[in-house]
Structure 1
Amino acid sequence: MTETPDDASRWTRISDPARIRAMAHPVRLDLMDHLNEVGEATATECAAHTGESVANCSFHLRLLEKYGFIERGEQRGREKPWRPVSRGWDMRPDPEVPGSLHAVTEIAGLHLLRETERYREFLRQAHREDDVWIQATTLTTGEFWATVEEMAELSRDLQQITQRFAGRSDDPSLRPPGARRGRLVAAVNPEPLGGEDD
């Protein structure tokens, strides 16, 4: 699973099951999303964004710090903001690390459910959107036959597809007038073993 930052060179590879499992929690994923979006935020600001209590956010933020996902930013008066240590995480399993595959499948499943719910929320509110935005969206599936090398290449291509928008998350001046935050969710996988066409 990869979170897709604007600059792929900033991806941080993680295969340690303990670190991956530490991220696999809905509140912690929400906190990471928020910190990646705003750059840095205090526990109070995170609580206002997530709807969680300040105490609960502080607990989860400290856990994210413990496992190396976030760090303290520069103190702002009495406020102590948090910031991500990387813009994106590459969480592919490592066959040499016991438990890595299980941890990755756990967080990938949670991530996919969250993205599905985001898309469902967009659909629920589609009647409020201008038609031009509706026509600009897609939900696409495809079926194909490929070797493992070809499938790996396709996966890499998809990871890079948003590079045309590089820098816009960090620098609002690069965003054209009328730009909105968009999301891309793509999954490439072979059919499960045991299918009719094996």
Structure 2
Amino acid sequence: MPTEHPGTPAPGEPERPMRRLDARSLRGLAHPLRMKIFELLSLDGPATATRLAERLGENTGTVSWHLRHLAEHGFIEEETGRGTKRERWWRRVPVTNRLDTGDFHDDPDSRGAVSLYLHELVGQYFNRINTYITEDWPAEWRSAGTISDWSRLRLTPDQLRELNDELFAVIRRHQPAPDAEPDPEALPVVVQLQSFPRRPQPGAPGGPEDTRSAE
């Protein structure tokens, strides 16, 4: 289950390095506040501990400690040449982080970190969608967005991986080239993709037989 995927580079964009998370790096990220900090730096760019603390409603000292922890595990880095000794700017390291839950199947000591990370990640996805549907958007943006699902697919594991790879490639094709002039009407867009198998329920086509007694 990859949580991020490099996909196909946009035109003119170099391939972003990919890091496969191990037990140590996973534990360095799998904390509710650290994941919130990492999310803000990923979505909104560099920030200081003071600015992050204001947005998160946390103590600046606490945020600073977690920033150093994220930096120690290679998720963020200081933006040199900006700020002062007292006000350091932090940015996300330009690396695609990939978590494969199968790597930890036989590591009981890491299962708690995997579970916490996935639950926090799903919570972040929910909060982004919830913010979108509760905000007041112009009609052209409201009609352009979508919250959709498709539940009638029946795929093998290989077919599901192929589907995801194709979707990732489509998203990457819509990313602008690094030297492209930004469209003044464009806004940041978040694309969230969740694709996963669902166990057939008793009585459903292709599912286990319904063994309930007839009444």
TM-score (structure 1 length as normaliser): 0.80
Paired residues for 1:10-159 under 5 Å = 10-76=16-82, 77-78=84-85, 79-93=87-101, 94=103, 98-99=107-108, 103-125=113-135, 128-143=136-151, 144-159=153-168
Give the letter for the 2:188 counterpart.
R
**How many Å separate the matches in 2 of 1:140 and 1:58?**
38
Q: Deviations over 1:45-85 (max 9, x none)?
A: 32233332211110110111122212222143433222222
Q: Which has the larger radius of gyration?
A: 2
Q: Cα distance, 1:22 vs. partner?
A: 2.4
Q: Cα distance, 1:29 vs. partner?
A: 2.0
Q: Does the CA contact (< 8 Å) of 1:36 and 1:87 recur in 2? A: no
Q: Deviations over 1:148-183 (max 9, x none)?
A: 111011122233332133247x77x63312111111
Q: Deviations over 1:31-57 (max 9, x none)?
A: 212223454332223223333221111
**How many Å separate the matches in 2 of 1:7 and 1:181?**
19
Unmatched 5+ stretches in structure 1: none
**How many Å separate the matches in 1 of 2:28 and 2:161?**
27
**How many Å separate the matches in 1 of 2:29 and 2:116?**
10
Q: Secondary structure at the match of 1:81?
A: strand
Residues 5 and 30 from structure 1, CA distance in 2 versus in 1: closer, same or farther, beyond 3 angstroms? farther
Task: Report the number of matched residues.
Answer: 193
TM-score (structure 2 length as normaliser): 0.75
Unmatched 5+ stretches in structure 2: 10-14, 209-215
Residues 65 and 114 from structure 1, CA distance in 2 versus in 1: closer, same or farther, beyond 3 angstroms? same
Q: Does the CA contact (< 8 Å) of 1:4 and 1:159 recur in 2? A: yes
Q: Percent sequence identity over matched residues?
A: 26
Q: Does the CA contact (< 8 Å) of 1:14 and 1:92 recur in 2? A: yes
Match for residue 162 of structure 1 among 171, 192, 214:
171
Give the letter for the 1:137 counterpart.
G
Q: Secondary structure at the match of 1:174?
A: coil
Q: Secondary structure at the match of 1:158?
A: helix
Partner of 1:187: 194
Pick which of 109-118 and 17-26 moved more.
17-26
**How many Å separate the matches in 1 of 2:28 and 2:146?**
33
